[in-house]
Amino acid sequence: MTKFTDGYWWSPDGLRLHYRDYPGDDDGRPPLLCLPGLTRNARDFEPLAERLAGDWRLICPDMRGRAESAQAKDPMTYVPLNYLQDISRLLADLAITRFVAIGTSLGGLITMLIAATHKEWLAGALLNDVGPKLEQAGLDRIRTYVGVGQSHQSWVQAARALEEANRDVYPGYGLEQWLAMAKRLYRLSSGGRVVLDYDMRVAEPLRIMGGEAGVDMWPVMASFSDVPTLILRGERSDLLSAATAERMATEIGSSAELVTVPDVGHAPVLDEPAAAAAIDRLLVRVLHG
C-alpha cells in the first residue's frame, strides 16, 4: 500500500476530524484535495493514490461522521455547508490556498460550493458523476441504503452483499474487486463483525430535506469557466444524466472536458482506464495551462 501519514484537525464546532496525507513531489505543484461521496471515506481514493502519490500530494479527508473522524452531536450538521466549513478549516491549518479538487458525488457538490465561494482556491476540478441536477431515480436508490446498518461475519460476506446491491453499478467486477471495495467501505467492529464505517445518522438530513439542496447550482458552472475542469460520468449512472453532463460542459465552456466512463454506474472509482487517462489530461492542463 502507498505510504501516507495520518493527520487530524478540529472542526469549527469542536469535532476531531481525520485525513490521510500522501506525499508528492516538492516542486510547487498544487495538492489534490480528494473529497469522497456520502457514505465513503478517505480510503475511497486508495486506487488514485496508488497511481499518483509521489508525483502529487493527495489530501484525503474523512468527513465528519465517517471512518476515523468524530461523529457529530447534531446529525443536522451532516450537510454540504458544514462539510465546506470543515474543509475550509483544514485548508487553513495546512496553509493551502490553491489545490485541485477531486470530488466524487457529495464531494463534487462540495467542490461546487468551493467554486461559488472561493474560486481562487481552485487550480483544477474533477466533478465525478454529480451535477447541479440530480436524477430522482438515483436519489431514490441512495435513500434505500443510506443509514441502513449492516453487519457481516466475514469480509467475503460483506463483499457478496456489496455485489448483490451494486452489480448493476459495476457489472464487470469480480470477487477481488468487491473485496477491495468492502475494505474501503466497512470496518471491523470491537465485536469482530464487519460493519459499515459511517454514522448511520448521516441519512437524517436526507429524510427531512427530501435530499434536495433547494438551491439552483446551475449558475455556479460559470465559476469553472477558467478552471481546468473534468466532468466524469458513469455510462450507467442513475444520478447524473447524459443531458445534464452535456449541459454542464456547455455552460463551463472550453475549460471543461466531459468523459463518459464505459459500463460503470454511480460512481466511477477513478481507476477505470478512461477515468485514469482523463485525470492525467486534467493534471497536464493544471501544470501547463
Cα–Cα dist 230/128, whole Å? 8
Label residue 277 left, alpha or beta by phi (over 0 means left) and psi (-120 to 50 means alpha).
Answer: alpha
DSSP characters over 150-218: -EESSHHHHHHHHHHHHTTTSTT--HHHHHHHHHHHEEE-TTS-EEESB-GGGGHHHHHHTT---S--G
Q: Report the predicted TM-score, pTM, of the whole model to 2 decimal places.
A: 0.96
| pLDDT value at residue 210 | 46
Residues 6+ apart with CB under 8 A from 79: 205, 209
Cα–Cα dist 253/229, whole Å? 10
CA 271 vs CA 23, 195, 218, 227: distances in Å = 19, 25, 28, 23
| pLDDT value at residue 214 | 57
Asked if the peptide bond before residue 70 counts as cis, ω within 30 degrees of 0, the response is no
| pLDDT value at residue 142 | 86
pLDDT (tens, 9 = 90+) of the chain, 289 residues, equals 789 999 999 999 999 999 999 999 888 899 999 999 999 999 999 999 999 999 999 999 999 999 999 999 999 999 999 999 999 999 999 999 999 999 999 999 999 999 999 999 999 999 999 999 999 998 888 888 888 888 999 999 999 999 999 999 999 999 999 999 999 999 999 999 999 999 999 999 987 754 444 578 999 999 999 999 999 999 999 999 999 999 999 999 999 999 999 999 999 999 999 999 999 999 999 999 7
| pLDDT value at residue 150 | 86
Sheet of 16-22, strands arranged across = 5-10, 16-22, 58-61, 32-35, 99-104, 122-128, 229-234, 256-261
271 and 51 in contact (C-beta within 8 Å)?
Answer: yes
Q: Which residues pair with 99 in a beta bridge?
A: 122
10 and 18 in contact (C-beta within 8 Å)?
Answer: no
47 and 58 in contact (C-beta within 8 Å)?
Answer: no
Mind listing the domains of the chain with CATH numbers?
5-146+215-288 (3.40.50.1820)
Q: Which triple of cell numbers denotes residue 84?
A: 465546506
Label residue 95 left, alpha or beta by phi (over 0 means left) and psi (-120 to 50 means alpha).
Answer: left
The SS3 of residue 245 is: helix
Cα–Cα dist 72/194, whole Å? 22
Burial of 219 (0-12, 13-18, 19+ CB in 10 A): exposed
